[in-house]
Structure 1
Amino acid sequence: MYKIYNPGENEVRALDGINLSIEDGEFVAIVGHSGSGKSTFMNMLGCLDVPTSGEYYLDGVNVATLGDDELSDIRNKKIGFIFQGFNLIPSLNAVENVELPLIYRGMGKEERKRLAVEALTRVGLEKRLTHRPMQMSGGQQQRVAIARAIAARPPMILADEPTGNLDTKSGVDVMNILRELWREGRTIVLITHDNEIAASARRVVRIIDGKIVEDYINEAITKETV
């Protein structure tokens, strides 16, 4: 897979021949410094962008050939996103924020509410259901974002620097939730610049200058030790 900006004399190869397979149920950390290409790679994995050349198969479908509407449909049904900046709607409370992507899936009001409350309870926010983002700490806001990502039970969770804006304790709480989801069978792809955070994953893939330079299994991490 290649992603090239400004093709020609001043081109930037954000992804320069990435070749990677991720199996169902894996917990993979994509690690690299700023400018390494990991964010571009996350955009490809999350169907937020398409490669300049190459193929990306998700559940057997070459998504590199799909249009915007089809990509949107895949994102909505197969991938739960967790972002460093939370991306919550300030005017909506916790339940309403979690319900938002469920609306796009055409779910009825009662089912949306049930799944939202269930997901928020899962991340320990059952007493914060009607709180808006500004009434919550950063750690609580990120847990709302996790609840939003898992409410529809997508098979894959894509977490982009999920602990980047959090204090140490909140970061540990978030990683514990991700490990628990992995133990239950979800595929977790974690994007991070932090080697310590990456060490929490079962598999670590390191990217430098748009190329994979390291790909190994962290034998110390198993589902039994979670």
Structure 2
Amino acid sequence: MSYISLKDIKKIYMEGEENQVNALDGVDLEIELGEFVAIVGQSGSGKSTMMNILGCLDVPSYGSYVLDGTPVEELTSRQLASIRSHQIGFIFQGYNLIPSLTVAENVALPLTYQGVPRAERMARAAEALEMVDIAEKAENRPTQLSGGQQQRVAIARAMATASPVVMADEPTGALDSKTGAQVLQILKQLNDMGTTVILITHDLSIAANAKRVVTMQDGKLISDIAGSDVRLESAGGK
């Protein structure tokens, strides 16, 4: 069985009303451990809703989502929070760092919710910062860092949780092309270490860095191809 399995997932807002929105409309998707998958689509395609469902930030209106053998739709809010703490790491476009905490404290924060002792939290934070080559900024505040540095901290925070899945929502969206390429390289290295990476983006050229690219449109999954095929198509044909 796949680590992530979506069957006929539907997410409906304002159901039964005149302005009903079918944000997801019968999505089937299987993701194995260790994959690097990009979910790509323009605004309104359903990719953000898909991220929220996959990340257990929201639940589907209909259909089945099985994560590591567990039917997600049967879980309580507390159980969903536990999954977000232990099984899924998040990287957001806006970094979501807490200004009053140091870089190291930001990275260690999710481990608090995992019940990890302080000494181990800080050790794991230091190791993660070293892996993304920003250990020298451990005692700085986020506001003292560039956008690229803040995104590295956000990646380190996800890495420190040792979650089997990391979800990255438009992780290069606020960065220049050079810094964005560096962030994508870190995500590739994270995947090479065995972490399942799910990249959400509107940009096909960014999605092409993944090993597999799933395209969404109008709440439906319309294609599922290899990232190398996307690169070939972008170059003008196979």
**How far 1:220 sits from its partner (Å)?**
6.6
Unaligned runs of 5+ in 1: 222-226
Structure 2 counterpart of 1:103: 112
**How far 1:214 sits from its partner (Å)?**
0.6
Separation in structure 1 between the aligned mates of residue 89 and residue 161 of structure 2, nearest angstrom: 8
Structure 2 counterpart of 1:129: 138
Structure 2 counterpart of 1:224: none
Counterpart of 1:189, as a letter, is I
Separation in structure 2 between the aligned mates of residue 199 and residue 51 of structure 1, nearest angstrom: 28
> How high is the TM-score relative to the length of structure 1?
0.96
Structure 2 residue 212 is matched with structure 1 residue 198: no
Counterpart of 1:30, as a letter, is I
Question: Aligned to 1:14, which of 10, 23, 32?
Answer: 23
Residue correspondences, number:
221
Unaligned runs of 5+ in 2: 1-8, 231-238
**How far 1:167 sits from its partner (Å)?**
1.1
Alignment map for 1:19-30 (pairs within 5 Å)? 19-30=28-39
Q: Which stretch shifts more, 211-220 or 39-48?
A: 211-220
**How far 1:189 sits from its partner (Å)?**
0.4
Q: What fraction of aligned residue pairs are identical, expressed as a percent?
A: 57
Separation in structure 1 between the aligned mates of residue 198 and residue 80 of structure 2, nearest angstrom: 18
- C-alpha deviations, 1:157-213, integer Å up to 9, x for none? 100000001111110111000001111111010000001000001000000000011
Counterpart of 1:72, as a letter, is A
**How far 1:38 sits from its partner (Å)?**
0.2
> How high is the TM-score relative to the length of structure 2?
0.91
Indicate the SS of the match to 1:18: strand
Per residue, is there more strand in 1 or in 2? 2
Question: Aligned to 1:211, which of 191, 195, 220?
Answer: 220
- Equivalent pair of 2:207/2:227 in contact (CA under 8 Å): no
Separation in structure 1 between the aligned mates of residue 227 and residue 205 of structure 2, nearest angstrom: 12
Question: Aligned to 1:88, which of 97, 100, 108?
Answer: 97
**How far 1:126 sits from its partner (Å)?**
1.2
Structure 2 residue 4 is matched with structure 1 residue 4: no
